[in-house]
Amino acid sequence: MLNPPAEDVILHRMPELWPAYWNAELRAETRKSLEEELYRELTTGHVLFGQTVSAKALCGSGDDVVYQLQDGRYAVVHLTWHVEKSSEFPFTLVFSDLDSLGRHTEWD
């Protein structure tokens, strides 16, 4: 019996599962760039500091990015494109799963 594909594989092969305002069709170099930018912005005390993340989707504005955390949760981050000094930035919302993220109306 075959194992079903992981949620990550399904989402990348079926970007229509993402809400319309998220673009999950990111090139590898875009993903890497977004991950590097996040790490550049994080300071000690930020909820994502020290976490391993993977960029999954980008909002049309280009500043809001969905990252998947190593434990399977998702974080939406509003990148500032600056090195931050406060752990309050970049603004971040963490969701237990994609359903929770999808029900959030911040991006409608």
Q: What is the pLDDT of residue 104?
A: 72
CA angle 43, 50, 107 (to 5 degrees): 70
DSSP state of 52: -
| Cβ-proximal residues to 42 (8 Å cutoff; 6+ apart), any chain | 48, 49, 84, 90
Q: What is the pLDDT of residue 35?
A: 97
Q: Cα–Cα distance between 97 and 17 in angstroms, integer?
A: 13
Kindly report, residue by residue over 54-98, the tens digit of the pLDDT. 999 998 777 899 999 999 999 999 999 999 999 999 999 999 988
pTM of the model: 0.81
Q: What is the pLDDT of residue 90?
A: 97
Can you name the residues that pair with 92 across neighbouring β-strands? 77
